[in-house]
C-alpha cells in the first residue's frame, strides 16, 4: 500500500518505517536502527539487481524489531478486560 503525505507526495520507505517504529517505541533500538538502514537502502535503490535481497533483509528486520509489539497490545487488552471485570463486578 502506497502512503501519501499531504499534497499527494508519496511517502518514502524511510518515513513510513520511522513512523511505525516511533509509534511502537522501537525507533531507537538496535533493530529499529537496522530497519531504518535497510529502508534507506530501499529508498536509494536505482537498479532491480539486489533489490529483492534488500527487501527481504528489511522485512525480516522489521518483523524482528516489531515482534512483541502485538504481545504488548494483547497484554494491554487483557489488563483492560480485567479492569472492566473489577469495575463491573464480573
Q: Judge whether 11 and 2 are in contact, CB under 8 Å.
A: yes
Closest CA to 39 of 15, 60, 22, 63: 15
pLDDT reading at 3 higher than 80: no
Nearest residue to 54 via CA among 64, 66, 43, 68:
43
Q: Tell me what percent of the residues of the chain surpass a pLDDT of 70.
A: 64
Rounded to 5 degrees, φ, ψ at 10 are -75, 130
Between 45 and 88, name the one with better pLDDT.
45
Q: What is the pLDDT at residue 2?
A: 44
pLDDT at 5 > cutoff 60: no
Predicted structure pTM score: 0.64
**Local confidence band at 38 (pLDDT 50, 70, 90 cut-offs):** very high
The answer to whether 10 and 17 have CB atoms below 8 angstroms apart is no
Q: Is the pLDDT of residue 22 over 70?
A: yes
- What does the domain layout of the chain look like in residue ranges? 6-88
Amino acid at each position: 500500500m502506497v502512503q501519501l503525505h499531504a499534497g499527494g507526495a508519496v511517502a518514502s520507505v524511510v518515513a513510513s518505517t520511522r513512523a511505525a517504529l516511533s509509534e511502537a517505541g522501537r525507533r531507537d533500538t538496535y533493530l529499529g536502527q537496522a530497519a531504518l538502514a535497510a529502508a534507506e537502502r530501499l529508498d536509494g535503490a536505482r537498479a532491480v539487481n539486489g533489490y529483492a535481497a534488500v527487501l527481504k533483509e528489511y522485512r525480516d528486520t522489521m518483523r524482528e524489531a516489531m515482534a512483541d509489539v502485538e504481545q504488548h497490545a494483547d497484554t494491554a487488552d487483557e489488563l483492560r478486560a480485567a479492569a472492566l471485570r473489577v469495575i463491573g463486578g464480573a
